[in-house]
Amino acid sequence: MLSLAVAAVLAAPVLAAAPSSPPVSAAPPPPVLDLETLDGLTAEQMMESGELTSVQLVQAYLERIEALNKSGPGLNAVTQINPAVMAEARRADELRADGVVLGPAHGLPVLLKDLIDVKGMYTSNGNYSLRHSYPEDDAGIVKKLRESGVIILGKVGLSEWANSFGSQPSGFGNLTGQVLNANDADQNPSGSSSGTGAAGAAALSMLTVGTETSGSIISPSGAQSLVGIRPTVGIVPAYGIGPISSSQDTAGPMDRTVANAAMHLQSMVGRDPKNEAGYAAVFGPNWQASIKRAPEEAPDYMSALDLDFVRGQRIGYNGTIEPGSPTALAFDALVAAGAIMVERPSIPVGDVPALPSGYQQHKAIDEYYRGLGASAPINSLEEEVAVNAAESDQALKFGNQNHANAAAAETEPGGPNETAYRAAMPIRRAAQWAAIDSMMNNQTPDDPSDDFLAILGSVPSGATAGTPQITIPMGYSTTHRRAVNVSIHGNAYSERNLIGVAYVIEQATRLRQPVSELNPSMYRCADTVPAPAFASRGGCNPSYSTAMELAGSVPRLPFSLETETAQSLQARQAAGTLTAETLTRAYLARIAASNAEGPAIQAVRALNVDAVAEAKALDKERKKSGPRGPLHGIPVLLDDSFDVAGLPTTAGSIALQSLLPADDAAVVAQLRAAGAIILGKTNVTELNGVFDANLPEGYSSLGGQVLLPSDTDKTPAGSSAGSAAATSAGLAALTIGMETGTDVGAQLIAPAGVAGVVGLKPGVGVVDGDGVLPVASSQDAIGPLTRSVYDAAVTLGAVDSSSVDYTAGLTQTALAGKKVAVVSGGSAPYPAAVATVEGLGATVGSVTLGAPTTRPSIVLREFSRDLDAYLGGASSLDEIIAYNQANPVEGLKYQQNELLAASAATLETYESDLSVGRAESAAVIDSVLASGYDVIMVPSNSTLVGIADRAGYPVLTVPAGEGTGNAGRNPIGVTFVGTAGSEASLLAAGYAFEQGHSYGRRAPGVTNPSMWRCTPGGSFFTGELCNPGDSGEALAELVDGLGPGRSWASIVANIQDAKSDDRQAAACSLIDALVANVGRSGRGVPAATGSSITAEASRVAAVTGCAPPRT
C-alpha cells in the first residue's frame, strides 16, 4: 500500500515534466538496483555513463522506504520525505547533463537526523511539541551538502533531543516513535543517531547523516554495521542543529562503506562565517581556544582511498588483542598492508576544571531556538519544558528530567555561569588536545619521524576533546549474529588519515553483510525490488493486503478494539448493535494496519481464511436459536503451537513450515463448540522457547521478532509473546497461550504482565493438551490471555475439562474476610496493590517464601520425547536440528544449543527429579497456604511463578499499574498464586482486585501514542504526524485550510458520519473541500502533489457513493 506522502513525491516529477510539445519516444526503463550492495562510487560511475539518473535513484530509495519503513520489518527510521526531493534530483541531472558536477557525491540522496534544519520541513528533535517547528533557513551542513550537489531525501528518527531529554531508550522520540535496529529488532539501535543507523544499514538512502556529542555517531554505527565518522568539532557547520553541548556537538557521516563516508565528509566540511559567529556567541571572542576552526577548503578525503595508504607508516595500538577478535583482524590487515604497528598506551588528560552544571545545554538550546526565526512555535528551553508538561500525554512518555534540570541553570550574558564556562573551556581543551597530540607525536613534537598516522584502540577523552574517530564494521558475533567493530582515532584535522587506515582494513576484511542476508526473518517477506534474500521461502506473517483481502472492508466501530472486552462485545451482540461478522472484519482490518504495517508488531502468524464465513454462520445461528454461550461470535487467536485444521503448526520453526495438522487441537475444538471464531494464530518464541539461551523472547526464524505494543524497545518476555501483544493491541478479543516454566520453555504469565493484560495459567491438566506442540507434558499448561479477569474466567470455563462455572465467584467483595499472603518490599505498583487488597477487606500477612527446589529441570529431558510423540513421524527433534544446520543463515542466527542438549539428554535421574522437584515446589506454596492464607500475591517477575510452574499449580497475573522513568508508562502486573485446583479462588481474588484497584488498564495507543496514532481501530488514532509508509498517513500533512488538528482520519470520519446520516450532499461536499485545498500549503508542499490527493479523495468518493470530486 503506497502511503500518501511517498505517492505524492513520486507523482511530482511526472506532473512537473508534463510536456507542452508532442511526445517523444518513451525513455528506457530504469535499471533494477540492488540498493543493499550499490555504493556511491558505483552510482556516480553509472550516472556519469548515462546508465542511471538521480531521479531514478531517488525513486528507487522512495520505493524501498515504502517497503521497509512502516511495512515489512517496520523499521520506523524515516520520519519525513523532502517534498522537493524530485525537483532537486532533476536539477542534479540537469547540471550533470551540462557538464557540471558539484562534488564527489553529486546527485546522491541523503537522509538527515531530525535535529538538522531543512527549510520546508519541520525539525522536531523527536519532540512532540516541535511538530510544527519549520525553520526559516537550512542548517549550515545542509547548505554545504546542497553546494556539493547532494540531494536532501528526508529525515530520520533519533533518541529525543539527542538522548539528553528524559529516560527514553535510544531511538525513541515522543513524536517520531521508536526506531528499530535494522540488523536485529530485539537489539536496541543505539543512539542517539538511531534512525540514521537503521536507515543506513537497511539502505534507505545512499548517504545518511548523524550527529554526536559523545558516542551518538560511533555507537549506532557500530551497532548497525556502518562506517561512522565523528569529525573534528568545528570543521562541519554546527548551526541549525538541535544541540546538547556546543563544545562537543558535530554532525558526521554514517554510511555503508568507507568510500561513501569519504565522499560524504568531503561534501559537508568547510568554513562558514555564520558558524564561526555562533561559536563566538557561546565561547566568546577567544572561541578558537575551545573549538578548531574549519579549513578554508576541505582536504581531499577521496585521495585516502588507497590500498597502499599505510605502507611504511607507524600506527599505534593499545588494549588487549585476542586472537580472532575484531581488533586482531584489523591489526593483521594493517600489517599485511605494510604498516608498522607500535604499541602506544593511552596518555591521561589529568585534572581539568569542571563546567557549570546544566549551563552548556541550556545556553546551546536557547541559541538554537533563537536561530529558528519568527515563526518558531517555541522560543526557549523554559518554554519548551512548559509546553511539554501541558502536552504530557503525547510529549512525556519517559519524562524530560534532563531538559527540566538544564532549564534551571542560569544563562544570563556575563553571568556567573557564562563567566565560569568561558574560563574553563580553554583550559580543558588545552589539556585534552595536548594529551591526544602527545599520543600522536610520540611525545617528541619536534621530531615528525616517529609520529603516528592513527591509533587503533582508544585515546583519552576523544569525544570530550572533539577529536576525530572512525568505526569500521568487522563482522558479527557468533552467539547473536550482532555487529562488532573497531575504531581508529586521531588528533584534530586527521580525518584523511583515519579514512585511509579504515579503507585498508575494510578492503582487506570485507566483513559487512546486507541486512537481508544477516537477518532473513526481518526482511524475507519485504516487498522490495529485487526481492530480498530467502524470499523464495515465503511463509510470511499476514501483510496489509492479505488481511484486508479477508476483511473486505473497514467497519467503523463506536469503541476501541484495544480496550473492549469479550464480555462487552458479547453484550453488544446480544443487544443487536454488533454482529460477529462486523467484529471479525474489524479485527482483520486492525491486523492489516498493525501486524506487518504501521507499528508492525509481528504478533500474528497466520489467518483463518474462513473466519468471516464462520462469523456469518454464527450470526445466523444466533438469530435462529440464540447464542451458544458467552464466547459465541467472539474472534480468538491462539499460539502457533496449537493445531488448527487448515493452518500449519510451525511454532516458528522453518523446519516445520509445512506441518499441516489434519484436525483441531482439543482446546480449539472446545472453543469452536462454544461459538468462538478461530481468527488465526500468533507468533511464538521458536519451538515454544526451547531453542537456545541466546534466543530473544518473541523471536523465531520463521515469524521474526514480536514487538511489545506499549514499548517496542522492550522484551515481550515469553513464548506467548504474539498472543500477549495481540490481546494488548486489540487484534482479537482474546488469545490462548501456554506456560511451561520460567527457566526454559513456554511462558504466558510474563508476556501477559509486560503487555498489560490478564494472563491465567491453570493447573497442569485442567485444559486438554492434545494437539498442542509440547515442551514438557508434566508442566505444560494452556490458558487465556484477556483484557479482563471476567473474560479469563469465561474462557477457562469454555476450554477446561470439567463443567466448573468460574464466573460464579466473581464479585467485588470476594476478598472480604480472606487472608492474603504477601512478600516484603517490591517496587511500585506492588505496595499500592497490597493496600488495595487490605482496603477490600482482606487480612494481609507478610511471609518469607521457601527456596526453589535444587533438583535439575526436567524440561529438556521431556522435550525430545514429547515433541517426537507429537510429530508422530512427520518429523523429529533430530530432523529439526539437521534442517537448521542445513539452513544456517535462516535457522541459526542464535545457534540451537538447547535443542542439541535436549537431543543428547538422558533419563538416568529423570523420575526422581520429576517427582522430588514437583513435590518440593508444591511444598513452598502449600506451606504458606497451610498457615491460614487463601491466596498468595507477589510482584511481577517473582520467582514464585517458576516454582508454581514446577509444581503444576495455577497462576494469575492482573494489570496493576504503569512504570515511570525508563519504564515509561509501560504496564506492570501483580501475580496471584494458589494450590492445585484453586483456579476459581484465584479468579475471584483477581476479579475483586481488578474492580477495586485504583488503576484501570490503559491501551498501548494511550500509553505509547507515538507508535499508534496512525493506526486505525485503536484508542488513540488521529491519523496525523505519521511517518512515511504509514497507511494512516494524514492528508492534513499535505494540505492546509482544514483547521487545526483536522487530520485525514477526522475528515474521513466526518464524511462517514454525513453518509450514515443520509447527508449525502454534506459528505460529497467534504470530499470536494479536500481537493479544493490542494496547493494551499504553508509547509513547502508543491501543488503538484495534487494528483495524489485527488486520487485518494476520488477513492473515498467511490466508496461513499459521491460523484468524482471537482478539481
| Residue pLDDT, tens place only, 480-506 | 999 999 999 999 999 999 999 999 999
pLDDT score, position 174: 97
The grid cell for 476 is 558479527
pLDDT in tens, 66-77: 999 999 999 999
Stronger pLDDT, 469 or 556, i.e. the higher one: 469
pLDDT-wise least confident of 34-43, 210-219, 577-586, 1008-1017: 1008-1017
Tell me the C-alpha distance between 642 and 606, whole Å.
12
pLDDT at residue number 337: 98
Name the least confident of 218-222, 577-581, 798-802, 995-999: 798-802
Which pLDDT tens digit goes with each residue over 511-554? 999 999 999 999 999 999 999 999 999 999 999 999 999 999 88
**How many Cβ atoms are within 10 Å of 615's Cβ, its own excluded?**
24
Which pLDDT belongs to residue 553? 82
- Alpha carbon dihedral 628, 634, 640, 646, in 10-degree steps, equals 60
Angstrom distance (rounded) from CA 700 to CA 692 = 11
Computed on alpha carbons and rounded to an integer, the radius of gyration of the chain in Å comes to: 30
CA distance 542 to 553: 16
Sign for the CA dihedral angle at 202, 204, 205, 206 comes to positive
20: Cα separation from own chain's centroid: 47
Nearest to 162 by CA among 219, 78, 90: 219
**133-169: pLDDT as tens digits:** 999 999 999 999 999 999 999 999 999 999 999 999 9
User: For residue 922, is pLDDT > 90?
Assistant: yes
Q: Which of 679, 702, 987, 937 is nearest to 822 (CA)?
A: 937
What is the predicted pLDDT for the residue at 344?
97
The DSSP secondary-structure symbol of 659 reads -
Q: What would the DSSP string read from start to end of 553-609?
A: S----SS-TTT--HHHHHHHHHHTS--HHHHHHHHHHHHHHHSSBTT----EEEE-T
Helix or strand holding residue 1059 (H, E): helix 1048-1060
Helices 85-97, 54-68: inter-axial angle, 10-degree rounding: 150
Return the residue matching grid coordinates 485442567: 766
Domains and CATH numbers, the chain: 1-30+1034-1111 (no CATH), 31-350+422-518 (3.90.1300.10), 859-912 (no CATH)
Alpha helices in 697-843 (DSSP H): 721-729, 749-755, 789-799, 830-839
For residue 620, pLDDT over 60 is answered with: yes
- Helix or strand or coil: residue 247? coil
In which band, very low, low, confident or very high, does the pLDDT at 803 lie, cut at 50, 70 and 90?
A: confident
User: How much is the pLDDT for 1072?
Assistant: 58
Q: How confident is the model at residue 1026 (pLDDT cuts 50, 70, 90)?
A: confident
The whole-angstrom separation of Cα 849 and Cα 1073 is 67
pLDDT greater than 60 at residue 359: yes
> Which residues, listed in sequence order, are joined to residue 315 by a DSSP beta bridge?
341, 454
Q: CA–CA separation, 698 vs 720, rounded Å?
A: 7
Please list the residues that pair with 110 across neighbouring strands: 152, 207
| Cα 6 from Cα 8, distance rounded (Å) | 5
C-beta atoms surrounding 658 within 10 Å: 11
| Sheet with 819-822, edge to edge strand ranges | 604-607, 677-682, 635-639, 734-739, 781-786, 758-761, 955-962, 971-977, 935-939, 819-822, 843-846
Helices (H) then strands (E): counts for the chain: 41, 26
In the predicted structure, residue 801 carries a pLDDT above the cut 60: yes
Please write down the long-range contacts of 426-430, taking CB distance under 8 Å and 24 or more positions apart.
Answer: 426/286, 426/289, 426/290, 427/352, 427/353, 428/352, 428/353, 428/355, 428/464, 429/247, 429/289, 429/290, 429/465, 429/466, 430/289
Q: What is the mean pLDDT of residues 983-1003?
A: 97
Buried b (16+ CB within 10 A) or exposed e, 506-519: bbbbebbbbbbebb
What cell numbers appear for 217 in the block?
555517531
Angle between helices 416-441 and 359-370 (to 10 degrees): 100
Q: What is the mean pLDDT of the chain?
A: 92
Position 113 confidence tier, pLDDT thresholds 50, 70, 90: very high
**pLDDT the model gives residue 4:** 41
In the predicted model, what is the mean pLDDT of residues 209-234?
98
pLDDT band at 1049 (very low <50, low <70, confident <90, very high): very low
Q: What is the mean pLDDT of residues 1019-1031?
A: 79
The CA-atom distances, in angstroms, between 751 and each of 577, 690, 706, 853, 989 are 33, 16, 11, 24, 21
pLDDT at 1043 over 90: no
Q: How confident is the model at residue 1020 (pLDDT cuts 50, 70, 90)?
A: confident
In this model, does residue 1055 exceed pLDDT 90? Answer: no
Collapsing DSSP states into helix, strand and coil, what is residue 1075?
helix
Highest average pLDDT, of 417-421, 1056-1060, 1064-1068, comes from 417-421
Per-residue model confidence (pLDDT) at position 472: 98
The three cell numbers of residue 1045 are 488538528
Per-residue confidence (pLDDT) for residue 1092, from 0 to 100: 53
> What pLDDT does 1097 receive?
61
Q: Could you tell me what percentage of the chain is helix, strand and coil, using 3-state DSSP and rounding each to the nearest 5?
A: 40, 10, 50
Q: Distances in Å between the alpha carbon of 637 and those of 322, 425, 752?
A: 49, 61, 14
* Residues near 183 by beta carbon (within 8 Å), at least 6 away in sequence: 201, 223, 224, 225, 482, 483, 515, 518, 519
**What are the grid coordinates assigned to 246, written together?**
556546543
9 pLDDT above the threshold of 60: no
pLDDT above 90: residue 105: yes
Q: What is the pLDDT of residue 24?
A: 43
Query: How far is 525 from 541, CA to CA, in rounded Å?
Result: 8
Cα-flanking dihedrals φ and ψ of residue 312, to 5°?
Answer: 75, 5
* Residue 1111 predicted with pLDDT over 70: no
pLDDT average, residue stretch 376-391: 97
Give the model confidence (pLDDT) of 561-572 as tens digits.
999 999 999 999
pLDDT band at 1075 (very low <50, low <70, confident <90, very high): low
Mean pLDDT value across residues 84-112: 97
Check residue 1065 and give its pLDDT.
55
Between CA 932 and CA 1022 the distance in angstroms is 52
What are the DSSP calls for 910-933, one per residue? HHHHHHHHHHHHHHHHHHHHTTT-
Cβ–Cβ < 8 Å for 173, 124: yes
Percent of the chain with pLDDT over 70: 90
Average of pLDDT values for 405-425?
98
Instruction: Provide DSSP, 816-843.
Output: TT-EEEE-S---TTHHHHHHHHHHTT-E
C-alpha cell at 496: 584523511
**Res 1107: pLDDT:** 62
- For residue 554, the model assigns a pLDDT of 84
